[in-house]
Amino acid sequence: MTSTPPMSEPKPLRIGIAGLGTVGAGVVRLLRENATLIRARAGRELVVTAVSARDRSRDRGIDLSGVAWCDTPEELATHPDVDVVAELIGGAEGPARLTVSRALEHRRPVVTANKALIAIHGAELACTAQQAGVPLMFEAAVAGGIPAIKTVREGLAADRILRIGGILNGTCNYILSVMHETGRDFAEILADAQKLGYAEADPSTDVDGIDTAHKLAILAGLAFGRPVVFASLYIEGIRRIGALDLQFAHKMGYRIKLLGIARQREDGIEARVHPCLVPQDASLAQVNGVFNAVVAEGAFVGRLMLEGRGAGEGPTATAVCADLIDIARGAAIPVWGCDADSLTQVVALPAKAFTGEYYLRLNVCDRPGVIADITAVLRDNGVSLRSMLQHADAHEVRPDGTHAVPLVLLTHKTSEAAMQHALHHIAELEAVLDEPALIRIEAG
């Protein structure tokens, strides 16, 4: 009787990690603490065999004895003991881009959490990955632990996605949530967020909408099968949102959220990032603090929303390890969900092509005839008013003796071009004392 030879033990997946910051160290911890569970789900062991970081002497709270150190992250691309490279450095250029490109060129699969790199160079990297016949995975690049990439690229692969986006930056959502709850101004809440570690020392990428735009560009590319040229996105941050805007929004039944919105239209792809008034009873209005929410609408599946923590060691490390498990299992999913040969980058529609309803806040002289002058400008530009609100408690006497009062107008649906033209002429009125504040209204 012939005996069946024992099956050989599958070889471990050897991982090289570029970058040992919060996420990189978190990946090492997660792979070790959940080693048994991960091995069962991956079908083999996942082991960190090499790393690269700027400061070799820094205590990261993890044992790296027996792990090879590379002086530069690019060395991981050709290291003999590395099967897959995890790029956790960040940034669209420099060492991150070089490391990912070299790894793919040397037929090494890559996992990255780098949203800027994928948003700006994703089409080019997709071609490199396809030519090399290896996967490029980036679940952690959008919304941390929320499985947004898998949902859009795999779960909705059979559907035609009409709209995608949501609340994609926890820092901005935290700031706007606390402003709403406390009535305090942007600068004060931002300073608190920096002390708590929710905002960087230089918060520009977050509060100016760039981080949200990176994530939106990725989601739009996956949803519509055509990477969006990042430079063509309309991007506006939250610096100009004041406590008064939050108060007015609340009185009118809205919350203010920074949203990324992408829609497939007959004339092209609409992709934009800006603050929005969202009805208080909408699901997005209930997403507060540092949480993110990704919303997708499909022709067959309808609307769905995923909510969770969008950043931090735990959520992001979990997403990185999920990609590593897929690679260990032999997953070979095209970067944008379809062959790179068929990809053509598309320019997003210009802002003047947008349509919608608007919130307009003005500080005006408290005297007769002012409202008539403003409504006349709106009428002449084809903008119809839906409602108006004055805040008598915010009446202000300025040093020159001028009595100023805030005035808020909500419009019916109109075009961005018409609204901007009207705004230009309103700003020129003598009775309008400060630069007008304009916020778009979304259904949520």
Of 291, 261, 316, 274, nearest to 173 (Cα)? 291
Torsion sign over Cα 28, 33, 36, 38:
negative
CB 107 within 8 A of CB 280: no
CB 108 within 8 A of CB 82: yes
CB 174 within 8 A of CB 184: no
What is the rounded distance in angstroms from the CA atom of residue 265 to the CA atom of residue 285?
Answer: 25
What is the rounded distance in angstroms from the CA atom of residue 26 to the CA atom of residue 62?
Answer: 9
Measured from the Cβ of residue 395, the count of other Cβ atoms closer than 10 Å reads: 12
What is the rounded distance in angstroms from the CA atom of residue 355 to the CA atom of residue 360?
Answer: 15
- C-alpha to C-alpha distances, 172 to 216, 249, 279, 317, nearest whole angstrom: 15, 17, 18, 22
Single out the catalytic residue among 150, 195, 215, 413: 215
Going by their DSSP bridges, the two strands 355-365 and 403-411 should be labelled as antiparallel
What is the rounded distance in angstroms from the CA atom of residue 262 to the CA atom of residue 219?
Answer: 8
Q: Is 413 part of the annotated catalytic residue set?
A: no
CB 106 within 8 A of CB 133: no
What is the rounded distance in angstroms from the CA atom of residue 97 to the CA atom of residue 103?
Answer: 10
Cα atoms found within 13 Å of the Cα of residue 122, Cβ hemisphere only: 35
Nearest 10 degrees: CA dihedral of 343, 345, 348, 350? -140
Active site amino acids: 215
